[in-house]
Chain A
């Protein structure tokens, strides 16, 4: 977006050919030195040999990658991570779309702003706190269990943490704001007159939604889903607090290899594998929709 609009309009302030490279030098050097080089080193280390006792030896071996893709445990955790990311994306879409639609059509600006601040505020709370909240809510002695027993839905006090559904709820809770923001941005840009026109032509609210609103919000659905899916692939804190070891995601396996097993080359190889998955998704989104990387990043705010 910024790149496209970089027309060298002569009248704009700050145009000097010699400052051109000076301005770009600072971010380029910092990002190159402190982002690109660490990532390249990660690639290099993923081919190193592991030596028992937390050391590694420079070398060139595919052993780390072979181990990752052939070992049932690691392959299983990778598949589990993909599966739970998919479930999370689906749930946030089902919860987020109606709310985003409702907010985008709301006339009361004050209420809309308050809800948006609430949604955005939870986004900045550390995952540790957000996971912890659900351990309180879903505990055996927690409020949900108590209400369930009082209403006769649950035969006895029941706890859900640690467990699969606790993790799913925690992840949906953590990533729902991203989905809502993506969808809201695309829904509020739909011209209200198109919806009016559809209604005037005799379509009911549901038909208008299906034939007009939903197709026009396609980009929001795609970018929001891709964003939630990518964020879900990297979860570390939530499964560590809300899940049991069988629900540990690939990020936890990576962290574990670093700090417990001290097998850095293997951790690097798994990181690269995970990164490839993320980059492929980003590439696919950029290729098949007109949502650019910046557009998707823009929805992060």
Chain B
């Protein structure tokens, strides 16, 4: 019996340790959720009583609503920019041979590997020099470029996995290349394209430092607004906003997972 136990011990220890790490990842989210429904005036844990008033306060505040609108506009624009760049680049590199293909592929992944503060300062100098700054367009462009590697990588993987046989069959049956592309290739890639766009959207929605450097103190996104609020007060509204954001994020990630049939498998 003791040898059986000794054999199982590493497995048991591993599973206990692993679940502790899962707890470390999940517990903070539960704490924000708990704090957001406090009926007290300040952030405290454990929360005092139960109330949804801080969610009401969020939707009633014009500051938060403005920040939300800016965030959504920027994220939408960034998703469009990054997905068009990513899909065109992935398609080009998959279908054709370029003498500078390796360079292009490197350029496709580099933006997101650089520290965002560098990308932010570079864009700030650039926009300042061309005399165009402090608008939502600046944020959209910067986020669109910075996050373009995600759609690029996802769509490259999709193109890699497509069975060439489908395309060949279509063309052997007399379909033109364009028709094949439209009826075979693009539908097969749909989930990769959608996932890529949603990735960029979510990341842009949550990005702080680039947005702050380019905001020129006129624009406010949700992360900027949270950061500013933290300086002055620890109002439970911040927890409520966090819960709304986490909720959006988890729902969207589960949808991607479902759409792509388990992208993390």
Contact = CB atoms under 8 A, between A and B. Distances in A.
Task: Specify the main secondary structure of chain A where it touches its partner.
Answer: helix
Task: Specify the main secondary structure of chain B where it touches its partner.
Answer: helix
Contacts of B141: 34
Contacts of B10: 205-206
B122 to A, nearest CB: 4
Contacts of B207: 126
A234 B118 contact: yes
Given A133-B28, A294-B156, A42 B88 contact: no
Nearest to B102: A3
A5 B160 contact: yes
Given A35-B145, A124-B202, A274-B115, A14 B88 contact: no
Interface in A195-250: 204-206, 230, 233-234, 236-237, 241
B67 to A, nearest CB: 12
B203 A234 contact: no
A26 B87 CA distance: 10
Contacts of B219: none
Contacts of A271: 117-118, 121-122
B143 to A, nearest CB: 11
A23 interface: yes
Given A113-B265, A275-B114, A12 B164 contact: yes
Given A16-B177, A113-B265, A176-B25, A278 B114 contact: yes
Interface of B: 7, 10-11, 14-15, 17-18, 21-22, 24-26, 28-29, 31-32, 35, 43-46, 81, 84-86, 88-98, 101-102, 104-126, 129, 141, 145, 148-150, 153-154, 156-157, 159-160, 164, 167-168, 170-171, 177-178, 180-181, 184-185, 199, 202-203, 205-209, 212-213, 222-223, 226-227, 230, 238-239, 242, 245-246, 249-250, 253-254, 257, 262-265
Given A2-B93, A237-B209, 8 more contacts: A3-B102, A3-B104, A96-B21, A102-B15, A117-B253, A126-B208, A255-B213, A258-B124
